[in-house]
Amino acid sequence: MSIKLLLFSLSTLLVATLFSFDHHAKLSTTQPFKNETLLGDVGFQHPQVIRIPGAVGPESVEFDPNGDGPYTGVSDGRIFKWQGNESGWIDFAVTSPKRDGCEGKHDHSTTEHICGRPLGLRFNKKTGDLYIADAYMGLLVVGPNGGLATQLIRPGLDLTFTNSLDIDQSTGVVYFTDSSRRYSRRNYVSVIVSGDSTGRLMKYDPRNNETTVIVDNLKFPNGIALNSNGEFLIVAETSSCKLLKIWLKTPKAGIIEEIATLAGFPDNIKRNRNGEFWVGINSRKGKLLDWIISNYWIGNNLIKLPFDITKWHSYLADLGGSTGMGIKLNEDGILDSSFGLKWKFVSEVEEQNGNLWIGSVKVPFLVKEIIPS
């Protein structure tokens, strides 16, 4: 790489990262979102902050068939279960048998390929089994009593960056995303800025232990959620900031429709009891980052620089702040604007018994918020 190109790439990275999240923008007026409701202008009204012991990043939130929980996976490879305010968190499961040096105060991203990094969680409501999408260990399952999860698909051979999942409760079929075949989770920024399109939507059928690819050549497929009758999936394509409707059944089977274009990077998707979809938005996409993503030659040169671009990006994002949010859509991507709040680095919004549970891949706590009546 020439000296001029190196200096240009360094300066572009610095400026783009500092301004990419544009966290002082007037969110609801100067840069309106398309087809979505912003959880943004008023902030939390009655938040309960539930801290995570010894780790960070409660990315996904799930409740078991009895309504107990929530359960969440964190940065050191453990999956916790919430026992209420008096008892707090208990260890429920792990995704790797190699636990030496996993816990404690250190940068867990350096050991997550050994200790595991559980991301998406879903219960099979009939069996009580918890299915886990671990970024490094692949697709796993653990029984109702927890413990060491069992790998269903061996990592390395078929999966590189297992991310999110949902379950067809009528058949037990598990749909999940493999976000990239080139980059692992710790290099997720490279997936975005390089224009990588090796992501896949896949399914695992426990009745015959077969795994198949439904759609490939996706740009950072992330969160997914089935509609109430399993006819289609809503898939978040993070790099393109789009939501896709992928038909599985009916005469439309195989058709892909773009139902929303967002002004931020979508993460997980969860369906509520009304059949609506909550989408976690990690952060806004600023103008300069949008420019880099639109010119992949810039991003491909950035990832060649002699330092960790993901850690650099994370550090500057923490320094500058980030406006995350949640959006609620119906099956056609039409917004519901009846409720609004915002938070930083939102990965998931789970609606349960009149409350919203807010997960984040970066912070050391969950947030619980009562939905106003």
Question: What is the pLDDT confidence band of residue 152, given thresholds at 50, 70 and 90?
Answer: very high
Question: Hey, what amino acid is at 287?
Answer: K
pLDDT at site 29: 24
Three-state DSSP state, 351: strand
Specify the residue for token string 């539930």. Answer: 50
Give the residue among 274, 373, 369, 279 at the shortest CA–CA distance from 328.
279
Residue-wise pLDDT tens digits, 269-280: 999 999 999 999
More confident: 38 or 298? 298
Asked if residue 18 has pLDDT above 50, the reply is no
CB 229 within 8 A of CB 274: no
| Higher pLDDT, residue 41 or 166 | 166
Better-scored residue on pLDDT, 140 or 336: 140
Domains of the chain by start residue, with CATH: 3-322+341-370 (2.120.10.30)
pLDDT-based confidence at residue 3 (cuts at 50, 70, 90): low
Is pLDDT above 70 for 20? no
Give 317: exposed, middle or buried? Use CB within 10 Å, 0-12, 13-18, 19+.
Answer: buried
Dihedral of alpha carbons 256, 63, 264, 369, sign: positive
The Cα 280–Cα 256 span in angstroms is 21
- Other C-beta atoms lying within 10 Å of the C-beta of residue 163: 29
pLDDT of amino acid 156: 56
pLDDT at 315: 58
Least confident of 100-104, 166-170, 260-264: 260-264
The two tokens of residue 150 are 């069992």
Q: Is 324 within 8 Å of 342 (Cβ atoms)?
A: yes
The dihedral built from the CA positions of residue 284, 362, 151 and 147, taken in this order, carries a sign that is: negative
Q: How far is CA 1 from the centre of its chain?
A: 34
State both tokens at 70.
């929530």
Provide the whole-model pTM: 0.86
CB 74 within 8 A of CB 40: no
pLDDT tens string 44-91: 567 899 999 999 999 999 999 999 999 999 999 999 999 998 899 999
89-94 and 147-148 as β-strands: parallel, antiparallel, unpaired?
parallel
Q: Among residues 361, 340, 363, which one has the least CA distance to residue 33?
A: 340
Contacts of 192 (CB under 8 A, 6+ apart): 220, 238, 239, 265, 293, 299
What is residue 279's three-state secondary structure?
A: strand
pLDDT of residue 341: 60
